[in-house]
Amino acid sequence: MAQNPEATVVFGVLNETSETESRVALTPDIVTRLKRSGVSSLIEAGAGIAADYTDEDYEKAGAKVTSRDEVLAEADALGFVDRPSAETVAKLKAGQWVIGMLGSFTDADYVAALEKAGLVGIAIEKLPRKLSSAQSMDEMTSQNSVMGYKAAITAADAYGSFLPMMTRLGAVVTAYDVRPASQGEVESLGAKFLDLGLDFSKGQGEGGYARALSAEEQAQQQAAVDEKAAGFDIIITTAKVPGRKPPVLLTAAGVKGLKRGAVIVDCAASDLGGNVEGSAVGEQVTEGGVKLIGAPYLASGVATTASNLLSRNVADILVHFVRDGKLGQDLTEELDDALVVAGRAAAPAAAADAEKSEK
């Protein structure tokens, strides 16, 4: 991050704590990092408590702890764990920037609402993951890593037997993904790659993310997964599609084929369904004695670490767009098309207004 003795861009974060959310989009150490890059921080009182960061921690780091209304009124840019609600969007001013998982691939109406409000929306889900400069900004990777860690612990806790190595989990791990590049990634971590005998060589989608399979491909995948699943004691599924029904990877027939006492943790479970047919948020036991745990909020269960990683992602995105003490379009154009999904005209207008006020 570039050195800048005077903070001129104001970054704001709101309290997003709820029954299922404990993370916060700014941590005290990131406040310090942002100051060095010419960014001052505002945070709503109590925003970090659920993640074990107190208001005093933020104040010691140099942030101003204040009311929600002041954050909304004074921030040039706001960072979110999720995305601003319609109520929050209505309170924002034209020219303000919002950074978060905006659901831009599947929720055109939401993107249109941001544009109508004159906001500049930075959609983290549109990051080009293959671009080296964007890797430190990749919230999906950082939060999915936390989710996967917690999912393994959740599954081990629900499983009725020891995993092989007792004080270390030591399970034999097999993983699968439709993206061809994932095989090397899986094997580099010491796990086995599950060969379904299918060729989805074009499984890599836009920006390095998995593409949606055709109906025929999905049916082939489901049949192959159902067959292979019977040999596992624990299954963890993580294929989320923000704002849309997740793909079914394991059917009811596949669940029925599992041995009694097997555990499934479906991290994609939601009101729209999950990766496992019949899963829902919460825990249930099937007639065959399989524990099916719908757990979409696992990253929030490791809120301190998850918040630290997420806030670093958001901060790196913000700083990328800070130029000479102002927010502006990406001068290298590497991230502009991938990130700015609304209000493109608002940024120059905001900069012009700032220049007028300085004269």
The DSSP 8-state label assigned to residue 160 in this structure reads S
Tokens of 8: 């001129």
Query: What pLDDT does 171 receive?
Result: 74
Q: Give the Cα separation of 356 and 280 in Å (integer).
A: 54
Query: What pLDDT does 350 receive?
Result: 40
Q: Give the Cα separation of 26 and 45 in Å (integer).
A: 12
Query: What mean pLDDT is predicted for residues 75-96?
Result: 95
Query: What pLDDT does 118 receive?
Result: 92
Tokens of 108: 């055109």
Helix, strand or coil for residue 64?
A: strand
Tokens of 38: 């010419």
Q: Pick from 48, 274, 243: which is nearest to 151 by CA?
A: 274
Q: Is residue 111's pLDDT more than 70? A: yes
Q: Give the Cα separation of 276 and 292 in Å (integer).
A: 9
Query: What pLDDT does 89 receive?
Result: 96
> Which pLDDT tens digit goes with each residue over 231-254?
999 999 988 876 678 889 999 999
Q: Give the Cα separation of 249 and 220 in Å (integer).
A: 10
CB distance 245 to 272 below 8 Å: yes
CA torsion sign, 89 to 90 to 92 to 93?
positive
Bridge-based pairing of strands 263-266 and 234-237 is: parallel
Q: Is residue 87's pLDDT more than 50? A: yes
